[in-house]
Amino acid sequence: MKTLTLRTIPVIFLFALLLVGCNFSAGATPTQNIDVAYTQAAQTVVALLTSPAPTSQPTTAVTPTPPPVILATATPIASPTSAPTATPTTQLTATAQSCTDMVEFVDDVTVPDNTEMLPGQEFIKTWRLQNAGTCTWTTQYSLVFIDGDQMNGISPSPLVGSITPGGTVDISIGLKAPGTAGTYRGDWELRNANGVNFGLGTDAADPFYVQIKVVEGASELNLGNPTWRDNLNNADNWYLLNTANTKFTEGDGRLVMTSKNPGVAEEWGLSNQPEMKDYYLQATFITGDTCSGYDKYGVLVRAPDTDKGYVYEFSCDGHYRLYTWDGQNYHALQEWRSTSSVLPGPNQTNVMGIWLQGTTIKLYANGHKIAEFTDSTFDEGQFGLVIGSVETNDFTVYVDEIAYWKFDQ
């Protein structure tokens, strides 16, 4: 066995150094510091956590959803012979907002279709609508005019509260009737926060609307002061009827008409004014505590005697009619017809007007012209007051004022 001498050790050491130098020059990857690897992984996590959350822009104004949550973890792996790697696991939770807008019509709260209006009359139209879509209607939604007659309505008109899907709301708009007689309609829809209009129907494309009839009014007659007026503070101008079925009395500044028994024909009492030919007559009636169905009241005009003339009546359910009575025969110029111009029910005030000029007869209710006829059955006579009960015992109506304007003075 040979002994290793001190002279050979430096040679071996030098050879080892040469081998190491050859390894570096061959391009081997040096081992990365473990602390540096952990620092890089941590920086990756911070970057993920501080990046802005993805957002989605809703197409309609709805209740906002909280921003998506980002969950991030990092697990660095170190090895003495290779660089550690950071493997973050990122989970994103985001819900895209999408909903539909649609209207369901429920009711006309005010001004039903074909309500009669005077020229230039101001009114409030109210629709009851249901949110039939999936979006919440907010104050960023508006009522908008679409087509037809706008009638001075403000458009757009913002909603004043939020209506969730399935909820109902009364939406109102102030309007003004046009100045000339005719039928007018205005179409309206809603508009969402993105400026998209929507309405009724399966495709939300149909408008809801307001439709009125502008009619001639008594104010347009320009009659001036009446020829004669009775405030009915006494009964000096009337024959007070008192029969088995009907009684007229005076009290509290009104003429009181009472129909005692239901189911009998109406009866009338005349004024003591002279016979007249052409005039406009107006009477103010106030119904009593009970007034239902076809319980009726009105005026008799151009009566040549106590048992003939034209009879114009209102009923307690909001109808009117005009007929002639020749002492034996009933002839209807207008059978009972409904009109929104007559206020139905008890404790209501209705102003009745009738225009008689030649063969022309015009009927008015609360200042609205509701009908016009041509008839020559009677051309002159007295006038009186009429009452009749169909359903109510002791049916009572108060006459507060009556006046006429003569044309043939």
Give the closest residue to 150 by CA, choosing from 181, 114, 188: 188
Write down the pLDDT at residue 206. Answer: 97
Interior/surface letters 267-294, b for 16+ CB within 10 angstroms, e for the rest: bbbbbebeebebbbbbbbbbbbebbbeb
Give the closest residue to 364 by CA, choosing from 376, 378, 374, 350: 350
Interior/surface letters 239-257, b for 16+ CB within 10 angstroms, e for the rest: eebeeebbbbebeeebbbb
How far apart are alpha carbons 361 and 278 in whole angstroms? Answer: 10
Rounded to two decimals, what is the model's pTM?
Answer: 0.62
Q: Which residues in the chain show pLDDT less than 50?
A: 1-97
The predicted-structure confidence for 194-245, as pLDDT tens digits, reads as follows: 999 999 999 999 999 999 999 888 877 888 899 999 999 999 999 999 999 9
The DSSP annotation for 26-69 comes to TTPPPPPPHHHHHHHHHHHHHHHHHSPPP----SS--PPPPPPE
Write down the pLDDT at residue 409. Answer: 55
- Residues pairing with 29 in the sheet: none
Angle at CA of residue 196, ends 191 and 202, nearest 5°: 90
Q: What is the DSSP letter of 304?
A: S
- Residues pairing with 126 in the sheet: 172
Paired sense of beta strands 208-214 and 115-117, if any: parallel
Write down the pLDDT at residue 222. Answer: 80
The sign of the torsion formed by the CA atoms of 20, 26, 28, 33 equals positive
The predicted-structure confidence for 10-27, as pLDDT tens digits, reads as follows: 433 434 333 334 443 333
Sequence-distant (6+) residues with CB within 8 A of 61 are: 135, 136, 138, 140, 141, 192, 193, 194
Domains defined for the chain, CATH in brackets = 103-215 (2.60.40.10), 220-406 (2.60.120.560)
Give the closest residue to 220 by CA, choosing from 120, 143, 130, 132: 120
> For the chain, how far is it from start to end, CA to CA, in angstroms?
166
User: Any idea how long the chain is?
Assistant: 409
Write down the pLDDT at residue 340. Answer: 85
